[in-house]
Amino acid sequence: MNRNVVENNWKLRWHDAILNAVEVMDWDILEGDWNQTKGKVKEQWSKLTNDQLDMVSGRRDELVDKIQECYGVAKYEAERQVKDWGARNDAWFDKAARRIQQNADMLRH
């Protein structure tokens, strides 16, 4: 196999792994602050009921499943929508992370 092909393939996998790790961190934040996040999710996917959002409880895979179910889209389409939504809401994720950190700091003191 051509060395450049192998190297480019490795770089692509590494890049995807980094992106996935960042996304996991964001979803950890959402799970910890789900009550604040539910409204933001409901703005994007208004067909989701409060009961469904309670079941999701900040778990990305559950949200993807509920979007598939409610909107009748394929899994890859639901995944794409969630990824795009996350990318558009980076600033909101950052605020949520700061809010969670402040709450944790207050509890420690």
- pLDDT over 70 (residue 28): no
CA 82/CA 45 separation, integer angstroms: 10
Higher local confidence (pLDDT), 58 or 67? 67
For residue 80, the domain's CATH number is 1.10.1470.10
pLDDT of residue 33: 67
Higher local confidence (pLDDT), 12 or 104? 104
Query: In terms of residue numbers, what domain contains 46?
Result: 3-108
Query: Mean pLDDT, the chain, as a whole number?
Result: 75
The confidence band for 87, taking pLDDT boundaries of 50, 70 and 90, is: confident
Model pTM score = 0.62
Q: For residue 33, report the phi and psi dihedrals to the nearest 5 degrees.
A: -130, 40
State both tokens at 64: 């993807």
SS3 content of the chain, % helix, strand, coil (to 5): 85, 0, 15
User: What is the number of domains present in the chain?
Assistant: 1
